[in-house]
Structure 1
Amino acid sequence: MTASDGLTRTQLAAYLDDFLSVSQFKDYAPNGLQVEGKDNIRTLVTGVTACQPLIEQAIALNADAILVHHGFFWKNEAEVITGMKHKRIKALINNDISLFGYHLPLDAHHGVGNNAELARVLGIISPRVCPQVSQDLLWQGHLKAPMLPEDFAAHLHTSLGREALHIGDKTKPISTLAWCTGGAQDYIDEAVKLGVDAFISGEVSERTYHSAMEQGIHYFAAGHHATEQFGIQALGEHLSREFGLSHHFIDIINPV
């Protein structure tokens, strides 16, 4: 298949469902094709979240499909298509653009997933899945050399483009880590069971402070968007290499 051939919408959906092992996951949003657009796909836009600015930039690029980590139709949200949701979906349909969304399958993938990519970006050694948490969502590894929390926070800032919140003893060095990208702060107790020095996720809750301080583990809230910006890029680049698609990653800044 040449670059000019592209893929059909059905071929891309089937490939992604298989590549990301979608059938193995119990998720709270549909994984796969969420809005149907044109049959043939040659230009692909990727982004973390299917927000209106991402859709508008995809339209400007004459994209055939958008591939995101955070798509539409989440569990417990209103089922009606009105307001913001209507505006987004209308823009996709009016421009014949398909929307594909992959949530937990992209977090967990061992090759291009958010957790695997975060380890790569941070230079974590021997990254591996922690089997006590299902669906391969909690990972662990170690640093090349111990770092003080202040220095590791600076490393996170440089690597992710966002200042991280640190909770813990500022004098206690870090050698071993566990992590789960996004809204995974409640895996901190599982990280404690692993005996690691620090746990990284995207978001933080009020209760996370007490869990970290009372259990003697460093916690870093490095940003939901910031920790999940790399997996979708890696997946888009993979598709571009495999099928000759024109790929554009669009980073819509989100400080959360």
Structure 2
Amino acid sequence: MKTSELIQYLDAYLEINKIPDASQNGLQVEGKVEVKKLGVAVDACQDSIAAAVAAGVDLLLVHHGLFWDKPVRLVGSEFRRVQALIANGINLYTAHLPLDWHPQVGNNAVLARKLGFEPATGFGASGAADGRCIGCIAEAQTSIALAPFLKLLASVLHADVRADLFGTHQIKRIAIVTGGGAFLLPHVLCAGVDAYITGEPKHSYFHFTKENKLNVIYGGHYETETFGVLALAEHLQQKFQLPFEFFHFPTGL
């Protein structure tokens, strides 16, 4: 399909202009005018771009792109990333917070459903005019004991998790903000949840978690944010018959 048509669809489907974000979401690097194959990755790193070149993709869809709120000097590794994209005609499309909040293909909603929980309401204000949130609060039909819940989460993430457990031993209502959501821990106090799932820990919040008797589970920034790009790619494959390839380069963080 035409690149311009795909970009127009993505911009509308993800509503990329409706949520404030440090990321410059949307098309970041322009390439071929037609897209026959997609590549998806969490990060627009040199490994992902090299894999996209080798796989012959026409558009690389990522969660963490190249350009954020401050200008970037195109020198060193930053130059090599852009150079490889342009030399091979690969479009780079970025969806950061728009791919966190999305109710169908967003990181948080998809992770919740894979755990057997249904998103019920938003969590973590984004600053959007319409009040949409970055993450979600999700509920299960029946409670699950803490130990098997941790095993389930590790299985879904395909990774070990860090768990700071000072709260209830039965889990039925959870809050999720994938990636770097530790800063929202003060808001967990009044959310009425049994556990909070996010990506990476922050030292200053350990004692806060303990003193307020919370369950906080860290699944890794990278591992918790693979769900959105994959769900979006599957959606595009079904809607437009576009094949895709996922480039997996975990950071361990």
**TM-score bracket relative to the smaller structure:** over 0.9
| Equivalent in the alignment of 2:198 | 201
1:66 aligned to 2:63? no
Q: 1:175 Cα shift?
A: 2.5
Alignment of 1:109-148 (within 5 A): 109-124=102-117, 126-130=118-122, 133-134=125-126, 135-148=132-145
1:212 aligned to 2:205? no
Which of the numbers 150, 155, 158 marks the counterpart of 1:153?
150
Aligned amino acid, residue 180 of structure 1: V
| Equivalent in the alignment of 2:86 | 93
Aligned amino acid, residue 33 of structure 1: L
1:49 aligned to 2:43? yes
Q: 1:210 Cα shift?
A: 1.5
Alignment of 1:14-29 (within 5 A): 14-29=8-23
| Equivalent in the alignment of 2:76 | 83
Distance 1:92 1:202, change over 3 A: same
| Equivalent in the alignment of 1:239 | 236
Distance 1:141 1:245 in 2: 31
| Equivalent in the alignment of 1:106 | 99
Distance 1:52 1:208, change over 3 A: same
Q: 1:171 Cα shift?
A: 7.0
Q: 1:102 Cα shift?
A: 0.5
Q: 1:168 Cα shift?
A: 2.0
Q: 1:239 Cα shift?
A: 0.9
Q: 1:233 Cα shift?
A: 0.5
| Equivalent in the alignment of 2:28 | 34
Distance 2:72 2:224 in 1: 29
- Which runs of 5 or more structure 1 residues have no equivalent in the other structure? 1-6
CA contact (8 A) 1:153 1:163 kept: no
Give SS of 1:22's match: coil
CA contact (8 A) 2:139 2:174 kept: yes
Aligned amino acid, residue 57 of structure 1: A
Aligned amino acid, residue 211 of structure 1: F
| Equivalent in the alignment of 2:129 | none
| Equivalent in the alignment of 1:178 | 175
Q: 1:120 Cα shift?
A: 1.5
CA contact (8 A) 2:102 2:109 kept: yes
Aligned amino acid, residue 40 of structure 1: E
Aligned amino acid, residue 133 of structure 2: D
Q: TM-score, normalised by structure 1?
A: 0.91
Distance 1:228 1:112 in 2: 11
Between structures 1 and 2, the one with greater helix share: 1
CA contact (8 A) 2:166 2:209 kept: no
Aligned amino acid, residue 128 of structure 1: A
